Structure 1
């Protein structure tokens, strides 16, 4: 299993079309050569500090995480569920760009917004019938380009089937915690 790191794939600049097209071809070739090349491991570590804040390291990057004062934090950084929304939106943008390139669709501009409703009774254990996570998340994606609305709707359907973070939300993912 490969571990994703900060080293980008070097592509032949004369390989044709776009950068993403080169990534698509290189990955397809590598997986066709050996299916084990399709397995990738991502990892992150977190270290707590202050009341409820943490520093998370993922690859060569680090991000700060905190909570708003109402949840015991100092609001010095986004909270975990805001990072989830950010992860979902950024994954949507990547997946739209990837599949547009793969399907030969042109996108001149893409933006996305998300909001989620969370009832803190679940987190605080005040009502065990209330889940601790979002009850609903709403995503709005805005695409600009020369394609028809029907073609962009087809793209949305493909993106909804292939976006990894959306998949994590829609399908149970086994999580094993070790203390």
Structure 2
């Protein structure tokens, strides 16, 4: 699958991200030269983790018939040491429903196994960047 990121030349820094048939706007806040017309890349990264945990927990609860009524995930970032190679994300899940303590703990454990959590903490990601051929 290819994700396409295209600049909106009518704005200072805004880009549109095309994923399948979905479009997201990304931008930077004014302090970084943008106009805050969308989330920034760090926010996409952080929110991907929160969304993955929410979807994984909901899927699991439905599959196991655990009475989870709702889930809310808050992700807080500490990027104060990012340049030193330490990027901290704190995730707090709010679960509602007629849940026992054992079910709550089971869902917490499942959240720690979401695919993006594993990807961010257990996998080595290799990135290559190259130029497309110059237009003729």
Give the TM-score, by structure 1 length. 0.64
Q: Stretches of 4+ moved more than 3 A in 1?
A: 119-122
Ranges in structure 1 where 5+ consecutive residues have no aligned partner: 1-41, 123-129
Q: Is the 8 A contact 1:93 1:110 kept in 2?
A: yes
The CA deviation at 1:120 is 8.6
For each residue in 1:22-81, what CA deviation from the matched residue of structure 2 results, as whole angstroms up to 9, or x when unmatched? xxxxxxxxxxxxxxxxxxxx4311012343321110000111100111112111111111
Give the TM-score, by structure 2 length. 0.82
C-alpha RMSD of the superposition: 2.0
Aligned pairs, number: 128
Name the one with the larger helix percent: 1
Name the one with the larger strand percent: 2
Q: Is the 8 A contact 1:43 1:58 kept in 2?
A: yes
Ranges in structure 2 where 5+ consecutive residues have no aligned partner: 132-136
Larger radius of gyration: 1
Q: CA separation of 1:120/1:148 partners in 2, compared to 1, >3 Å: closer, same or farther?
A: closer
Within 1, Cα distance between the matches of 2:88 and 2:82? 15
Secondary structure in 1 matching 2:53: helix
Secondary structure in 1 matching 2:68: coil
Counterpart for residue 75 of structure 2: 114
